[in-house]
Amino acid sequence: MSLTDEQSKRYSRHILLPEIGIAGQEKLLNSNILIIGTGGLGSPTAMYLTAAGIGHIGLVDSDCVELSNLQRQIVHLTKDIGKAKVLSAKETLNEMTPAADIITYNEMITANNITDIINNKNYDFIIDCTDNFPTKFLINDACVLLHKPFSHAGIRRFEGQSMTYVPGKGPCYRCIFKNPPPPEVVPPARQTGVLGVMGGIIGSIQATEAIKYILGIGNLLTGSLLTYNALSMQFRKIKISANDDCAICGTNPSITKIMTCHNI
């Protein structure tokens, strides 16, 4: 494809970058990215990827917009309270970039539908923007078994973390965190709170990783866990290695099919 005059103007600051240029922008416009969760992390991730020119973006979420969401979930507005989050997000994203193809899945991601959703558009990159551990493990396992790269992230209180999995190029989420922790060990953000801007900081990192993967530039967070503390204003990049005993990507995996992951 060749860029239209409108696209050349819209993405002119990308095109000026030698690492992107016209060819790179065309890659972005032809790419398919799936975002699971349209909350604190998914909001900025979806907005920046849409603004960057990702041509096809899938959004998965079964929730509706609530007043308490608006402190951090910037893709939703006050007028959207009560509306399905994926539809609210789609409206905002298409107001930003009318040509973007936003595909919505107004359903909870489960072991029964995750394969069909990922294969629906043969998504190039998956982004985990969920807020609970069983779903994070489910996404990891599905991506490993389906050979799909994905970005993991999590936020809580004043802290956040992110890593990127690329098949054959580093550890998966299970290599670091073997199983979902018991709920009482790591309570959800609705019980502990979260600084609103944490989603913007960590979600922007996820969007950056997706863009770099599509373009094949820079160094991804493969083999590294990036952590951030807003109170100390410190980033740490922790080196991590693949675990030969990992239950799903190890030498002798015990998990060979996609299944629901439970807290244990």
For 186-241, the pLDDT digits (tens) are: 676 778 899 999 999 999 999 999 999 999 999 999 999 999 999 999 999 999 99
Q: What is residue 184's predicted lDDT score, i.e. its pLDDT?
A: 65
State the Rg of the chain over Cα: 18
Q: What are phi and psi of 16, to 5 degrees?
A: -70, -20
Note the pLDDT tens digit of each residue in 215-226: 999 999 999 999
Q: What is the pLDDT of residue 261?
A: 62
Q: How far apart are CA 240 and CA 252, in angstroms?
A: 20
Q: What is the DSSP letter of 67?
A: G
| pTM for this predicted structure | 0.95
Q: Is the dihedral of CA 89, 94, 97, 100 positive or negative?
A: positive
Instruction: Residue 23: name the closest of 53, 3, 5, 50 by CA.
Output: 3
Predicted confidence at residue 178, as pLDDT, reads 87
Single-letter code of the amino acid located at 76: H
Token pair for 256: 């060979």
- Name the E strands within 44-169: 56-60, 101-105, 125-128, 150-156, 159-165
Q: Looking at this protein, which amino acid is placed at residue 187?
A: P
> pLDDT 10s digit of each residue in the chain, 264 long?
689 999 999 999 999 999 999 999 999 999 999 999 999 999 999 999 999 999 999 999 999 999 999 999 999 999 999 999 999 999 999 999 999 999 999 999 999 999 999 998 999 999 999 999 999 999 999 999 999 999 999 999 999 999 999 999 999 999 999 888 776 666 767 788 999 999 999 999 999 999 999 999 999 999 999 999 999 999 999 999 999 999 999 999 999 999 876 443
Q: Which CATH class is domain 31-239?
A: alpha beta
Q: Tell me, what's the pLDDT at 264?
A: 34
User: Residue 143 and residue 206: Cα distance in Å, rounded?
Assistant: 16
Amino acid at 257: K
